[in-house]
Amino acid sequence: MDTSSPVITAETANHVLFHFGCGGYQAGSFTTHLLSAFATADEQHFHRLAAAFPEYAAAVAAIQYDPHGVINLRAIARGEVAAEAAAPQCPEALLNPETGDIRRCVQRGRHDWHQTPSGTQWRVPVDGTIEVPF
């Protein structure tokens, strides 16, 4: 299973920025509907869409949950920074034991609570023995 961050292209960044009213340019009708699906999907459906369109999933997660997401996507759209430099940096993740899916934290910098792209939050206790989703 590949757990690396997908590369967000300038085109993807522009489409997502436009969809969320933050600049960029409009995508075609299929991609516009795809972005609407991502924006309204629950966690299970978000991950199903992400399996087929990982770059759009990463860009939507960035704009919805990363406090620096708009700034980073604008930099990608202008070609000023590679997607890898703007990707979420937190190494924490939740593992779904039934499916084997890994849901990475999308937050950047130091934080006490972690969050998946779909909004599930959890923390790792001080003793580090278990992860506590809520």
Tens digits of per-residue pLDDT, 48-105?
898 899 899 989 988 988 888 899 899 999 988 765 555 545 667 777 778 877 777 7
The pLDDT of residue 27: 95
In this structure, the strands spanning 102-104 and 114-115 are unpaired
Top-confidence residue, 132 or 124: 124
For 9-34, what is each residue's pLDDT tens digit? 999 999 999 999 999 999 999 999 99
The pLDDT of residue 1: 32
DSSP 97: T
Backbone angles phi and psi of 77, in degrees to 5: -60, -35
Q: Among candidates 103, 102, 69, which has minimal Cα distance to 83?
A: 69
The pLDDT of residue 21: 96
Contacts of 4 (CB under 8 A, 6+ apart): none
**Averaged pLDDT, 110-115:** 72
The pLDDT of residue 110: 63
